[in-house]
Structure 1
Amino acid sequence: MKLFQKLGRMPIGLTIPAFAILLVVFGIPIVLLFLASINAPAFSATNYLGFFAQTANVRVLFQTIEVSVVATSICLIVGYPTAYLIVAASKSVRITLIALVIIPYLTSGLARTYAWIVILGDRGVINNLLLQLGVIHSPLQLIYNTMAVYIGMVHIMLPVMILPLVSAMMGIDRSLTAAARSMGARPLTAFWRVFFPLSLPGVRAGSLLVFVFCLGFYITPAALGGLRDAMLSTFIAAQVKNSFDISRIATSAFILLAIAVAVLFLLGLDLASAQGRTATTAWKSWVVRISKLDMLKRYFSRFSDSYRAKLWTTQLYQAGDDSRLSNIVGTMFVLLVMVYLHSPGLIVIIMSFSSGTFLEFPPSSISLQWYQTFFGDPSWRGAAWTSIQIGVAVAILSTIVGTLAAYGLNRTHPRLRSFLTMTILTPVTIPVIVVAIASYYGLVNLGLIGSRTGIVLAQSTGATGIVVVIVSATLANFDRTLERAAKSMRAGPLQTFWRVTLPLIRPGVIGGAVFAFLHSFDEVVITNLVSGYSIRTLPLKMWENIRNQIDPTIAAVSSLLMLVPVLWLIILYLTWWRSRLRDHRSRPELET
């Protein structure tokens, strides 16, 4: 009790458990890896020079950057209009579309990668359909190439691009665009000069997240790409398995980390609205300065002012057909994006009920044989039970330390809070293969490789950051006068937190626990290194079967994994609904 009172006076102490796990599992090992890469205590750049001296290494590095840039560009080109159309829709339609974007985001990335293997394979859905129609006589090479890698990566990363864009666009005051239209600006001009600059913080956030995540992609390029499509993360994982040369592994990991840090430093990760407006103003002034034809354009535009004024007056109150056409085109575009996001999962779910000895679409007859195989095979059941146990342990640990850290950070100075929050989020904002290497190196020194404790600690570094973000967002809307009122009635810090604060932030805590569990349940890269081949989780068994043999049982497993986020969303909705109902019931009591 006295300890909690001291921590209440110094809330930054509540972050100690989170930082302790982060330092032991990730912080100290990453420093030791850097020292190994520069041959400490000799301190030389021999390893880095040796890396760039090999042509194959340079080719893989540039290929990693190229694939990440192209995938990010495609996500932005597709995601921006999708987010714009979602925000422009009615409230009910908007909520439905956002939910449809969130569901694939929460779905297992490994399951979605497997879906594209089923669709693009030599005997996949597309080739079988074209063969049956007589369009082709032999299967097309749709898989194990760069195009398949882009299709899979964009499919996984597109929700990561859309959600920040939607968040930024929903904060834009639409009256500004309407004011531009009322001053005679055409719809495209009003969008480009008013709406688009205000949405740049969302563009920056989405692009940063997608690019950094793509740098660390391992599963999708390895499953869908060929030998020439190797990413640097695949190269690092191969070095760990084949010849564990810590200096070479650390060098490759820090080169990848340096690229991610450089991009984060150049573009910035602080997406506050004020800074976003400053960046937008600077960008616009820079464009005006380099445009030498700007004054000439304005001079000639004076001659058309009278004509434009008359045209605007005549068309102001006319309902043109272009708006109806644009609505149709926008609706079709959003539908195509949703089909792209959800059709692979639906196809796998339908194929999982096939009664044949191999997967077929559509199934000739319905059967539950692959589900019976999954539940009847001890290896599959054991892997699933191991994943559940580890996921629950990660959720409990990360929720406790993450909630304490978020509560403490919420009561510290804003500048210190920003720095500490970014430190906790480091394992989430850098390539996952670097986190995996650091965690492996740290747990080797602790003797926890091949143990469930080691896997839980390694996965908790990222899960804690997720919990901190979600609970901090809940605490941002928390009225602290309620705590002061409780303390004025002689309630202690622990009693105030337990009876006042925790019930009000419970939806955020539950949401953080759910996302922490999903983060753990779908984790492959870190678990693959830390497990030491002695512990097999469900994603690891799926990954081994995908690489060695395409077992139709994976279709049933993937179908079950695709239902998990739907169930979690229902649980979160019920939690939110109950808290809202409780608030409505308590208001009349307070008023009386």
Structure 2
Amino acid sequence: MTTINKLGRSPIGLTVPALAILLVVFGIPIVSLFLTSLNAPDFSVANYQAFFGQPANIRILLQTIEMSIVATVICVIIGYPTAYVIVAAPKYLRVALIVLVIIPYLTSGLARIYAWIVILGDRGLINNLLLDLGLISSPLPLIYNRIAVYIGMVHIMLPTMILPLISVMFGIDKSLMAAARSMGARPFAAFWRVFFPLSLPGVRSGTLLVFVFCLGFYITPAALGGLRDAMLSNFIESQVSSSLNMARTAASAFILLAITVVVLSAIGLDLSSTQGRGSKTARTPWLSRLSSFGTLKRWANELVTPYRARGWTAQLYQAGGHSRWPKIVGTVFVVLVMVFLQFPGLIVIMMSFSAGAFLEFPPSTLSLQWYRSFFGDPSWSGAAWTSIQIGVVVTILSTIVGTLAAYGLTRTRPRLRSFLTMVILTPITFPVIVVGVATYLGLLKLGLLSSKTGVILAHSIGAIGTVVVIVSATLANFDRRLEQAALSMRAGPLQTFMRVTLPLIRPGIIGGAVFAFLHSFDEVVITKLVGGLSIRTLPLKMWENIRNQIDPTIAAVSTLLMLLPVLWLIVLYLTWWRSRLRDQRVLLGPRI
């Protein structure tokens, strides 16, 4: 009890368990990996020179950057107008659209990739439809090429772009747009000069997240692309699997990590830019910085100003009739985006009930044979049970450790809090293949490779960061005066936390636990590296079947994984609803 009271008075001590796990499993190994890449203790850059000395390696590196940029640009082009229309929609419709965006965000990435294999394959939905209509005589090459990889990457990362944009756009005061319109600005001018600069923090954060995650893509290019579409993560994984030269592998991993650090330094440090800075940027576009373009622009503005003034005066006192076309176009666009996000999953769900020997759409007859195959096959049910066991242990460990860390971080000095938060979030900001290689090295030294304990520790370093993010966001809105009131009534730190703090932040803790379980249950790359041939989780079983044979049982498994996020959303909603009812009862007080 004395130790707990001391930890309560020294909040920084609550971060020790999280930092200890991170240091042992990931921190020390990644430092050792870096030294290995430099041939310590001799210290040379021979491994980096060997990497850049091979044109094939340079091609894969540039290809990785190119594919990540293209996927990020596509996500921005699609995600920004989608988020804008969602924010402008009525409340009931807005909530429904956000849920439709969140569901694929929480759905297993392997299940979504399998859905695209079913749609784009030589005997997939599109080719079968075209063949039945007689439009083609042989299947089109829709899969195992660069376009298929882009489709898969955008489908997986689009919710990651939309959600930060929605969060930022919600905070923009809509009266600013109305004020701009009242001053004579046209709708597009008001949007471009007022709304867009204020939404730039969302654009920057979404772009940063999408690009960094795309750099570490491994499953998508391996499943949907061809030999010419490999990314650096595929190259690193093949080195780990087939080569004993850890120094060359370490150099490749740190080259990928260096790109991530450069991007984080260039973009990530300015994620909290002020609105004023955004407005200033919008008022001085880059074309006006060139003297010739600036002069031409001023001359054109002076020429059209009288006509613009007369047109504005003529429209000033007219009845406000707004064109319906922007709303129609926006509605159609959002519907197409939602179809893009949900359609692959719906196709797989329908095909999983097929009664034939192979998957077909639409199913000629309905049957549960593939679900019976899943539950009746020990290899499938055993893999699922292993994933559940590992996921539950990871959830319990990361929720306890992450909640303590978040509680301690919110009560430390700002500079120290920022530094420690950055350290704890490192495993979820670095490319997953780099984290996997470092974790592989750390567990190798601990003798925990190919063991459930090793896999649990490997999953926990990322799950802890996820819990810290969610619980910290909940604690940011927590009124600390309630704790002070409890302490003033002679309650100890532990009693105050259990009786006051914990009940109020319970929704955030449950949300963190849900995301921690999903993080562990869907993990493939790190599990493949540290689990070896001994640990077979459900995602690994799915991945092996996708690569080696298209077993129709995967459709049933994918359907169950797609329904899992719906179950978690219901749990989160019920938790929020109960918390809201409790708060309302507290505010109303007892009736006398």
Q: TM-score range by the shorter chain?
A: over 0.9
The equivalent of 1:114 in structure 2 is: 114
CA distance change for structure 1 residues 355 and 373 in 2, over 3 Å: closer, same or farther?
A: same
Q: Which residue does the alignment assign to 1:558?
A: 558
How far apart, in 2, do the equivalents of 1:457 and 1:27 lie? 13
The amino acid of 2:345's aligned partner reads G
1:168·1:202 contact (CA, 8 Å) conserved in 2? yes
Distance 1:362 1:300, change over 3 A: closer
Once the two structures are superposed, what CA deviation does each residue of 1:344-364 show, in whole Å capped at 9, x if it has no partner? 000000000000000010011
Counterpart contact for 2:167–2:202, Cα < 8 Å: yes
Instruction: Work out whether residues 184 and 309 of structure 1, in 8 Å CA contact, stay in contact via their aligned partners in 2.
Output: no
Q: CA deviation at 1:283?
A: 6.4
Give 1:316 shift: 4.1
For 2:591 and 2:3, the matched residues in 1 are separated by 37
Structure 2 counterpart of 1:337, which letter?
Answer: V
Q: How far off its partner does 1:231 sit?
A: 0.7
Q: What is aligned with 1:125? A: 125
Counterparts of 2:280 and 2:417 in 1: how far apart (Å)?
27
Which region of structure 1 is more displaced relative to structure 2, 214-223 or 312-321?
A: 312-321
The amino acid that maps onto 2:439 is S
The residue identity in structure 2 corresponding to 1:529 is L
Report what 2:67 is aligned to: 67
Report the equivalent of 1:457.
457
Aligned partners of 1:20 and 1:291: how far apart in 2? 57
Q: CA deviation at 1:306?
A: 4.4
Q: Distance in 1 between matches of 2:241 and 2:480?
A: 52
Residue number in structure 2 paired with 1:290: 290
Indicate conservation of the 8 Å contact 1:122/1:141, yes or no: yes
What letter is aligned with 2:277? T
Query: Aligned to 2:523, what secondary structure does the other structure show?
Result: coil
Within a 5 Å distance, the mapping from 1:140-219 to structure 2 comes to 140-219=140-219
Q: Which runs of 5+ in 1 are unaligned?
A: none
Match of 1:301 in 2: 301
Question: Paired residue for 2:280?
Answer: 281
Residue of structure 1 in register with 2:229 after alignment = 229
SS at match of 2:61: helix
**CA offsets per residue over residues 511-545 of structure 1, 9 Å max, x none?**
00000000100000000111011010000000000
Q: Provide the secondary structure at the position in 1 that maps to 2:589.
A: helix
The alpha-carbon deviation at position 284 of structure 1 amounts to 4.3
Counterpart-to-counterpart distance in 1, 2:460 and 2:485? 35
SS in 2 for 1:199: helix
- Counterparts of 1:475-486 in structure 2, within 5 Å, are 475-486=475-486
Q: Which residue type is aligned with residue 120 of structure 2?
A: L
SS at match of 1:44: coil
In structure 2, C-alpha distance between the alignment counterparts of 1:244 and 1:373, rounded to whole Å = 39
Alignment of 1:131-530 (within 5 A): 131-269=131-269, 271-274=271-274, 277-278=276-277, 281-282=280-281, 284-285=283-284, 287=286, 288-290=288-290, 292-294=292-294, 297-298=297-298, 300-302=300-302, 304-316=304-316, 318=318, 323-530=323-530
Deviations 1:418-453 (A, max 9, x none): 111111111111110000001000000000001111
Structure 1 residue 268 displacement after superposition: 2.1
Q: TM-score, normalised by structure 1?
A: 0.97
Shift of residue 269 of structure 1?
4.2
1:216 is displaced (CA, Å) by 0.5
Q: Deviations over 1:243-302 (max 9, x none)?
A: 13110110000000000110110112452253x643553564463433544355345534
Q: Structure 1 residues 320 and 370, CA, compared in 2 at 3 Å: closer, same or farther?
A: farther
Q: Kindly tell me the number of residue pairs found equivalent between the two proteins.
A: 591
Partner of 1:587: 587
What SS is found at the alignment partner of 2:324? Answer: helix
Paired with 1:403 and 1:278, the residues of 2 have a C-alpha distance of 35
How big is each residue's C-alpha offset from its partner over 1:442-486, in whole Å with a ceiling of 9 and x where there is no partner?
A: 000000001111111101111111100100000000000000000
Contact 1:205 1:269 in 2 (8 A): no
User: Is the Cα–Cα contact under 8 Å of residues 524 and 540 in structure 1 kept in the other structure?
Assistant: yes
Counterpart residue identity of residue 380, structure 2: W
The worse-fitting range, judged by mean Cα deviation, of 312-321 and 68-77 is 312-321
How much does 1:308 deviate? 2.7
Provide the C-alpha distance between the structure 2 equivalents of 1:175 and 1:492, rounded to a whole number of angstroms: 47
Task: Give the equivalent residue in structure 2 for 1:12.
Answer: 12
Letter of the 2:144 partner, please give it. Y
Aligned to 2:535: 535
How far apart are residue 326 of structure 1 and its match?
A: 0.9
Separation of aligned partners in 2, 1:155 and 1:321: 38
Deviations 1:560-584 (A, max 9, x none): 0000000000000000000101111
- Provide closer, same or farther for how the CA distance between residues 423 and 182 of structure 1 changes in structure 2, counting only shifts above 3 A: same
The 3-state SS of whatever aligns with 1:323 is: coil
Q: Aligned letter for 1:165?
A: L
The amino acid across from 1:137 in the alignment is: S
Q: Taking structure 1 as reference, are residues 318 and 420 closer, same or farther at Cα in structure 2, changes over 3 Å only?
A: farther
Given that residues 455 and 527 in structure 1 are in contact (C-alpha distance below 8 angstroms), is that contact kept between their aligned partners in structure 2?
yes
Q: Following the alignment from structure 1 to structure 2, what is the Cα–Cα distance between the partners of residues 430 and 590?
A: 51
Corresponding position of 1:95: 95
Partner of 2:568: 568
Letter in 2 for 1:350: M
Shift of 1:72: 0.5
1:97-144 Cα distance to aligned partner (Å, 9 max, x none): 111000000000000000000000000000000000000000000000
Structure 1 residue 590: Cα displacement: 6.7
Q: Which amino acid aligns with 1:49?
A: Q
Give the stretch that moved more between structures: 365-374 or 408-417. 408-417
Percentage of identical aligned residues: 74
Q: CA RMSD in A?
A: 1.6
C-alpha change, 1:143 and 1:321, in structure 2 (3 Å) is farther
Q: 2: distance between equivalents of 1:114 and 1:57?
A: 29
Once residues 397 and 42 of structure 2 are traced to their aligned partners in structure 1, the CA distance between those partners, rounded to angstroms, is: 40
Paired amino acid for 1:456: I
CA distance, structure 2, for counterparts of residue 352 and residue 284 of structure 1: 54
Q: Which amino acid aligns with 1:455?
A: V
Report if the CA contact (8 A) 2:194-2:279 is conserved. Answer: no
